[in-house]
Amino acid sequence: MARARVVIVGGGFGGFTAARRLSRAAVDITLVDRTNHHLFQPLLYQVATATLSPTDIMVPIRWGLRRQKNANVILGEATAVDVARRVVVLDGGRAELPYDYAIIATGARHSYFGHPEWEALAPGLKSIEDALDVRNRFLLAFEEAERTDDDAERRAYQTFVVIGGGPTGVELAGMLPEVAKPMRRDYRRIDTRQTRVLLLEGGPRILPAFPQALSDHAKRDLEKLGVEVRTNARVTHVEPDGVHVGGEHIRARTVFWAAGNAASKLAKTLGAPLDEVGRVKVTPDLSLPGHPEVFVVGDLATVPRDGGTFVPGVAQGAIQEGRVAADNVIARLAGRPTQLFTYFNKGDLASIGRHRAIANFGFLQVTGYAAWLMWLFIHVLYLVGFRNRVSVLLQWAYAYFTFQRGMRLITNYARQWDGTVAVGGKYLSADAELAVAKQREAVGSR
């Protein structure tokens, strides 16, 4: 009998874990990803703030699976899953991968709440490319501030707005002043200590997934770092020179997005019921309703938990789901019943700047330096692959003690002043210019 073909789409925490979990199964695995790397997404904000190098937080997927002889890796973008024919379509039809079992784990992208034109103005943090875009804009803003002779313009370049008060927004906002301050010796005309960072959260408090007391603590910690935290602050417009929040216009040349997620478009091709942000409503064993041979895990799935809540879109959720999906493939092959997914929360962490964090383990809540040490320990522990662990520790140690940020690389400046690439909120592509112009018109005509 031919071995069962298992196609895994996505090499993030969910897909990569599933592939590893199947290492001893008598199946032929094909893992497809549109990047060649398994990425440690929780540390992307450190790449974005010029603290870590992109290669510190990734391993090539095929390197990670090199000893697992039942696994093939394909670099390709899955553009559809045809559940009727049981094939994954690659690169818009360039190739097809037939499967007996499929595990779909393509995650989420940003959602701009019906304003796709904001994407060019306010990048988020999901991929290496995103992080390098944020890093370029962050560093370029200081260069422009140093160059300009216009005081208002200089202040706009020294103002950074982070939209969204979840863990990503908090971690990014907390790092910006910490990285800016020690750069002051490098500049002659600007004082990088005057960097203004605003964190705008639409809801009543930041980090709503944490208990109120920890949210409050995080807010105070951010304010100690100089971050202006505004809650109930709904952004109505994002423009090249700032944002509108309520009736106020905040001038800022650099805006980052950490507000909303939408499931990968691949979800729509599965023909299954989706929730309001496009995530697949899976059955309790993580399979697709009506298709017990297809499992959906990670940020692409919405998985109910006890008490009417859902499994949060974090690494540990995706890892646990990937493991169960793999086990359920094995169960089906053996003719055993599948197991139902239950989420075990090991604890939630968010770092705040360079040496503070909050940690919630349910029975125990930790803040400040102690929480940061826990955060550091856990993140280093989970980083995939020995090389990265050592290298990241060295980089961190170096950055921590010397503040000499060796990662401050700006790329493609020439393309920027040519006006062909949108960076720093100023040099926009023709498309983005158009979108912005239309938006301005709409604002003006109210």
Work out how close the CB of 274 gets to a second copy at its nearest, in angstroms, rounded to a whole number: 22
* Count of residues interacting with a second copy (CB under 8 A): 57
Residue with tokens 């789901």: 321
Q: Which range, of 114-122, 217-225, 307-315, 403-411, touches a second copy by CB under 8 A?
A: 403-411
23 binding a second copy? (CB under 8 A):
no
How far apart, in Å, are the Cα atoms of 49 and each of 173, 174, 244? 10, 10, 25
293 or 433, CB closer to a second copy?
Answer: 433
Alpha carbons 127 and 139: distance in angstroms, whole number: 18
CA triple 419-424-428, angle to 5 deg: 30
Region of 181-189, 259-267, 273-281, 347-355 interacting with a second copy (CB under 8 A): 181-189
State in angstroms the smallest separation of the CB of 386 from a second copy. 9
**In the 3-class helix/strand/coil scheme, how is 43-67 assigned residue by residue?**
HHHHHHCCCCCHHHHEEEHHHHCCC
DSSP state of 17: H
Which of 80, 128, 373, 376 binds a second copy (CB under 8 A)? It is: 128
What length does the chain have? Answer: 446
- 433 counts as catalytic: no
Report the 10 Å Cβ neighbour count for 225: 18
Q: Binding string, 263-282, against a second copy, x = CB under 8 A? A: --------------------
Given 119, 171, 201, 239, the catalytic residue: 171
Provide the token pair at 361: 């383990």
Binding a second copy (rule: CB under 8 A), the pick from 387, 400, 434, 443 is 387
> Does the footprint of a second copy cover residue 194 (CB under 8 A)?
no
Three-state secondary structure call for residue 297: coil
Is 430 a binding residue for a second copy by CB under 8 A? The answer is no
91 is a site residue for a second copy (CB under 8 A): yes
Give the orientation angle of helix 386-402 with respect to helix 368-382, to 10 degrees. Answer: 150
Q: Quick one: which of 5, 75, 228, 433 contacts a second copy (CB under 8 A)?
A: 75
**Closer CB to a second copy, residue 394 or residue 443?**
394
Candidate ranges 6-14, 159-167, 217-225, 399-407; the one touching a second copy (CB under 8 A): 399-407
**146 touching a second copy, by CB under 8 A:** yes
Interacting residues with a second copy between 204 and 223 (CB under 8 A): none
Q: Which range binds a second copy by CB under 8 A, 108-116, 185-193, 204-212, 260-268?
A: 185-193
Whichever of 140 and 225 has its CB closer to a second copy, that residue is 140
Tokens of 128: 């290496």
Q: How many other CB atoms sit within 10 Å of the CB of residue 68?
A: 17
At residue 104, what is the residue type?
I
* Contact between residue 121 and residue 440 where contact means Cβ atoms under 8 Å apart: no
Cα–Cα distance list, 371 to 179, 218, 220, 368, 402 (Å): 20, 11, 15, 5, 22
Q: Which of 299, 272, 303, 270 is nearest to 285 (CA)?
A: 303
How do strand 108-110 and strand 287-288 relate by DSSP bridges?
A: unpaired
Q: Does 224 bind a second copy (CB under 8 A)?
A: no
Applying CB under 8 A, the span of 91-99, 313-321, 347-355, 372-380 interacting with a second copy comes to: 91-99
* H or E segment and range at residue 38: strand 37-39
Q: Does 404 bind a second copy (CB under 8 A)?
A: yes
> Is residue 397 near a second copy by the rule CB under 8 A?
no
Rounded distance, CA 324 to CA 309, Å?
19
Residues with active-site annotation: 171
Where on the chain is the footprint of a second copy (CB under 8 A)? 34-37, 53-55, 58-60, 62-63, 66-67, 69, 72-77, 91-92, 94-95, 128-129, 132, 139-140, 143, 146-147, 185-189, 385, 387-388, 391, 394, 398, 402, 404-414, 417
